Structure 1
């Protein structure tokens, strides 16, 4: 599941500067794909590898969000971003069908191409986790319905002892090509669905599909720092492809449950902590919750309700592994609902002292309040509040 650490820089792959425009990215990819196209380099595995590498670079750099993540964090920043893992040239054609079609960017250079064994389809599942699991990372086991090759026909769809025959409608090409003036139009063969072969005597157990539904058990490694919406990709855990082709991938979309204490904002965690008026006025050391357990927090003398105090490095880890966010503690000063006689006596004494020794801020407010309710003298200007 982790992305390979030996990947080349995507800008280097396409021969671009990091300031390249979208049109420059598309143009460079066009040149690379034309140069390393499998039809131009038959049997050349290194050319096919570069063809797939260029497709991966184009997928990232042509997507504004993926490009921002890559520019900031490199390949590590793309983990969980749903970047396609092109394992064959056919997957490139499948992902960029419009580009490689007869009317796409490459239609002028290459004619219709026979479809080879198709890789399996990707699967998408959603996985709920706790905030603690998102912070520390975890391994979860999930069960999901998934197609498997039929045990009776080994995925061919044909009755044991028989084989599929070449489609006589398209001659095994999987496409029907018709000429219209100076142009050629290619369409998927309606008889074989683009396979190039037809099953005449289907398998009785799978009805010729070559597949059967089963419940698969898969382990998912959750990296530290994931957030709601993060997509983890497990290679070769999706649906089976055609015989001889790779499976699709399993895409796991993470959903982080709401937490009792914390609200996440980026890599920071926000937490509200109630304290008493004496603690706020005189200053105190209070215990607050963190993801690592209770921790002391110094409340400065004169702290106001709603003030934010920071615990550095106590937030969520960054998905790329570059440090942690902070915990932002919002102080809420609580007003007691029940008082003992002694508490009430002390508070009344404090109120009396406060009445005679008013702070400048409160004095200004009281003066405005008095002026607001004072009727203006006859002929005078109305007082401003």
Structure 2
């Protein structure tokens, strides 16, 4: 068989599984693992001047290009199955040849078999996409479905709403199919034709040297596979427009400032029946007048008088959304000491609560009345013999 419909004669006799050293039922992960190992061992950069290694590297890349792709691998396996049952190989004909032993008038054509299996275009249509190379002579005029774009938005919520969870309304503006041409990019009433640059594939192949190539979106049709002689007057051929909509998004309890929430399928709508993209909402949490947050815990600064810290005291402190609790300060409580009130913090992912961390802030009065001054002077006199800073400035 000649190099027709993209099928290369030499591929019919190649066992890509043997090239990669794997079984035919190997998992996708095993295929990738085997390819990476062999590619490292035989890469031209690691084996300069070793032609044998270079040729083996090309064979490995060729094998992985087929069995490493789910769709190609399925077609390749079906081809091998047909080959093992019918015994056809590189000598089979595209229009008049038959299976082994089927001479003129006595055999049957492989294309006829594939048509009976539902592949109306024959061998070339079935395996053209698999084996690449050659000139494509048949392409589908039906554009492929395209996934919609992801959309990003920001929601600002209150401190308490972040702890309890809240449903917010988001006004979104995103790309969508042009309402005039329904995303085709052509003037309504005109008929499309297959893009001549990519031949209806929606992408073009860009060579990078060696055994690798990269598929890039076709610049002529933008991946839509079809082009129009007259562009849509609204979108000027881009096929894109804008849409504004309002959606309700649930922000879970316990969300942190700066967290990003993914809402699957709430992004821009797809094209040609493709799925919608996703919506990513970045949450901004407004600060609270009294409380702060550290992970799943709430924080609170508690003003304490000097005598309360020195002599000990019971101090009532607020909780967020609940009744106040009493904090017992032992005598001699230092400034900056943190007390933990369990179960009064933020909601965790498992539904439990974090803690409230209350930090003592000893307050120094800015002014003193006569009685307070006399009391403090008496305290100073009583503590005069205590070497508070003894040794601090000694080398």
Whether 2:330 is the aligned partner of 1:300: answer yes
Deviates more, 1:142-151 or 1:215-224: 142-151
The answer to whether the 8 A contact 1:175-1:186 is kept is no
Q: Aligned to 1:275, which of 296, 300, 304?
A: 304
Counterpart residue number, 2:73:
40
Counterpart residue number, 1:142:
170
**Following TM superposition, by how much is the alpha carbon of 1:177 offset from its aligned partner in structure 2, in angstroms?**
4.8
- 1:1-80 to structure 2, matched below 5 A, reads 27=33, 37-41=70-74
Distance in 1 (alpha carbons) for counterparts of 2:339 and 2:266:
45
Counterpart residue number, 1:154:
182
Whether 2:265 is the aligned partner of 1:207: answer no
Distance in 1 (alpha carbons) for counterparts of 2:35 and 2:319:
48
**Following TM superposition, by how much is the alpha carbon of 1:276 offset from its aligned partner in structure 2, in angstroms?**
0.8
Distance in 2 (alpha carbons) for counterparts of 1:204 and 1:262:
56
- 1:80-91 to structure 2, matched below 5 A, reads none
- 1:243-262 to structure 2, matched below 5 A, reads 243-262=272-291
Query: Deviations 1:70-110 (Å, cap 9, x if unpaired)?
Result: xxxxxxxxxxxxxxxxxxxxxxxxxxxxxxxxxxxxxxx98
Counterpart residue number, 1:222:
251
Query: Deviations 1:140-167 (Å, cap 9, x if unpaired)?
Result: 1121222233333333333333343211
**Following TM superposition, by how much is the alpha carbon of 1:186 offset from its aligned partner in structure 2, in angstroms?**
5.3
For normalisation by structure 1, the TM-score amounts to 0.61
Distance in 2 (alpha carbons) for counterparts of 1:302 and 1:25:
69
Secondary structure, counterpart of 2:161 in structure 1: helix
Secondary structure, counterpart of 1:38 in structure 2: helix
Counterpart residue number, 1:287:
316
The answer to whether the 8 A contact 1:287-1:294 is kept is no
Distance in 2 (alpha carbons) for counterparts of 1:37 and 1:210:
31
Q: Aligned to 1:168, which of 174, 196, 210?
A: 196
**Following TM superposition, by how much is the alpha carbon of 1:308 offset from its aligned partner in structure 2, in angstroms?**
1.0
Aligned residues: 278
**Following TM superposition, by how much is the alpha carbon of 1:185 offset from its aligned partner in structure 2, in angstroms?**
4.0
**Following TM superposition, by how much is the alpha carbon of 1:116 offset from its aligned partner in structure 2, in angstroms?**
3.0
Counterpart residue number, 2:369:
340
For normalisation by structure 2, the TM-score amounts to 0.60
Secondary structure, counterpart of 1:271 in structure 2: strand
Q: 5+ unaligned residues in a row in structure 2: which ranges? A: 1-25, 37-63, 76-129, 134-138
Q: 5+ unaligned residues in a row in structure 1: which ranges? A: 1-13, 16-22, 43-108, 373-383
- 1:87-102 to structure 2, matched below 5 A, reads none
Distance in 2 (alpha carbons) for counterparts of 1:309 and 1:299:
9
Could you say if the C-alpha distance between residues 295 and 219 of structure 1 is closer, same or farther in structure 2, counting changes exceeding 3 Å? same
